[in-house]
Every structure is written in C-alpha cells, then in structure tokens.
Amino acid sequence: MANSKTVIFKIKRQQTPESKPYWEEFELSYRPGMNVTSALMDIAAKPVTRQGKPTTPVTYDSNCLEEICGSCAMLINGKPTLACNTQTLDLTDSVLTVGALPNFNIIRDLVPDLVPMFGVHQRVQPYIIRKDTQEMEKPSGEYFQSPHQLEEFLQFTYCIKCGVCMAACPTMATDRQYPGPMALTQAYRYNTDSRDDGGGERKDLVAKSHGVFGCHYAGECSNACPKGVDPARAIQLLKRDLVRDYLHLGKDHACAKTHPLPPNVERKPKIEAPPFTAGT
C-alpha cells in the first residue's frame, strides 16, 4: 500500500468532566504497522484538525504498548478494546472513530475515571484470605495446590483490569451500583482458589441487591476481553455457587494445607505488599 494513503480519525473530546462532548477530525498519512496508539501520538504531537485549525492535544493514556497494562482501553469504531493492539487498517481505510470507554465518567477526552472500578475491586478483597493468620505472616511451608485445582481458576488470573468488560456490559449501562464483570470475576477467582477461605466475606458484596444476579448473561464482557478471559462464565459459576450455598447443597470448601519446605531450602526474602493489595 502506498504511503500516501490517509485515514481520518474522528475523536470524541471532552475538556472537563462537566463539559459537553464534541467531535474533532484529524487526518493522518498511513504508515505500515500504525496502531491507534501511535496515531494518537502523532495527533498529540501536531494537534491540527483536518480543517487546518490548531487545537489542544488529545488527552489519552498509554504505558506498556504491549497489551499488558490495559491503560489504553477506549472505544474504537464502537467497540471497547485496547488501542495499542488495534491496527488501523484492520478496521478501516477511511474513517476511524475513537472515544472514551462508556459506562464511566470522563476525566478528559479519552481518559475515563476508573477509580470506582478499582474501589469495587478492592472491596471484593482480591487476595488470599485464611484463618491461619500466623502461618500467612510467618510461613513455615507452602500451601499445596494440584494442577487441577489451579486450572479451575487460572484463566481468570489473566485479567489486566483494563475496564473493557465493564464498558461492554449492558447491566453497567443501566445500574451504576452493579459491581461489574471485572470485580465479580476476581471474586470468583479467589473463592475458587483452594488456598483461600474468604468466600464468606466476599458474599456480602456479590450476593446483595445490585450484585451478581444483576447479570443477564449478555456475554458481551467475554466477547470484548482483549486477553481472552471469560467473565461471563465466572459470573454464572459464581451464581451457581451462591445458590448451592443457599440451598446447603455445596461441598465445604477445605483450605489447602501447609506442606513444609524440603530441608536445606532457603526461602526468598519477603516483599511487603502495598496496602491496597493487602487489605489494610
């Protein structure tokens, strides 16, 4: 393809959380391998609209550029996805629309306010909870977990907290008190972990009004996830476990026991966890 090919980027902008959104168009010459993030970099470097009018640089977020951090999530041609992993010509050779993730308040331009999402994530206590606190603080061994037990929740550990599933969720669009697929998936992930004993503590959040049963199983969260995680499945399994628990049909969740370390094995130095992951 010739380098003279141009693509029009139609970007939905918003200067402040309270201001009204508006659209601006930018025209860029296509270059091989140009993804949406690199196009936004070009636009920010030379903020001139398609009509030749100087404007303020478009505000957006990006960090790793490798589909790992999740910070560049946005709405591209009507679909929530990651800008760094979206090749421009995979979507269009003429006009590409870009906006901030829906179902979130907007800070500025393409930057959504993810604080409420992480607040709910924190409240589901996304870490191992056990009754043997002394063993947790001063471990004498390791908690045994079989490959099969790991496989039961492994795919849900691949979540990068980008918010794409939240933006795709129709329940989130109508109920801002709904925890959302990201937090509910992490609740199931830790409830299912054989080393964890905190399911009862998480139940208060996920089983209440506006909780997990607000999901209508549209499945859009799973369709949109850029990492192949299946939040819709996790939510349905979480519902199943709650019903079983209510009817007293579920098996008791036995926590993994501690296996002592082999002799002459040196434990790595303990790294203190940040407060928001340690539940303090």
Q: Which domain holds residue 25?
A: 6-112
pLDDT at 274 over 80: no
pTM of the model: 0.88
pLDDT of residue 278 exceeding 90, the answer is: no
**Could you write out the DSSP letters of every residue in 11-70?**
EEE-SSSSSPPEEEEEEEE--TT-BHHHHHHHHHHS-B-TTS-B-PPPP---S-SSSSS-
The single-letter DSSP state of residue 207 is S
Residue 217 lies in a domain: yes
Q: Does the pLDDT value for residue 240 go beyond 90? A: yes
Q: Which CATH number goes with the domain that contains 36?
A: 3.10.20.30
Q: Residue 55 has which token pair?
A: 């404007």
The answer to whether residue 279 scores a pLDDT higher than 70 is: no
Whether residue 280 lies inside any domain: the answer is no
pLDDT(209) > 80: yes
In 122-195, DSSP assigns E strands to 141-143
From first CA to last CA, the distance across the chain in angstroms is: 56
CA 124 to chain centre: 14
Q: Are residues 73 and 32 in the same domain?
A: yes
Same domain? 188 vs 102: no
User: Is the pLDDT confidence value at 195 over 70?
Assistant: yes
Name the nearest CA neighbour of 4 among 26, 25, 30, 27: 30
Residue 30 lies in a domain: yes
Domain count, the chain: 2
Do 100 and 130 have their domain in common?
A: no
Whether residue 138 is found in the same domain as residue 250: yes
Residue 219 to residue 190: CA distance in whole angstroms = 21
6-15, 66-75, 135-144, 152-161: least confidently modelled range? 135-144
Q: Residue 107 pLDDT more than 90?
A: yes
The confidence score (pLDDT) of residue 271 equals 75
- The answer on 68 and 36 residing in a single domain is yes
CATH code, 216: 1.10.1060.10
Digit-coded pLDDT (tens) for 117-151: 999 999 999 999 998 888 888 888 888 899 999 99
pLDDT computed for residue 1 by the predictor: 40
Are residue 88 and residue 200 in the same domain, yes or no?
Answer: no
Give yes or no: residues 137 and 126 share one domain. yes
Mean of the per-residue pLDDT values of the chain: 91
Tell me the pLDDT tens digit for each residue of 34-79: 999 999 999 999 999 999 999 999 999 999 999 999 999 999 999 9
pLDDT-based confidence at 2, cuts 50/70/90?
Answer: very low
- Are 86 and 168 found together in one domain? no
Same domain for 148 and 197, yes or no, is yes
Q: 211 pLDDT exceeds 80?
A: yes
At which of 61, 92, 112 does a domain end?
A: 112
* pLDDT attached to residue 277: 65
Considering only residues 204 and 231, tell me which one the structure prediction assigns the higher pLDDT: 231
Same domain, 94 and 191: no
**Whether residues 80 and 93 fall in one domain:** yes
Same domain for 21 and 157, yes or no, is no
Residue 89, pLDDT score:
87
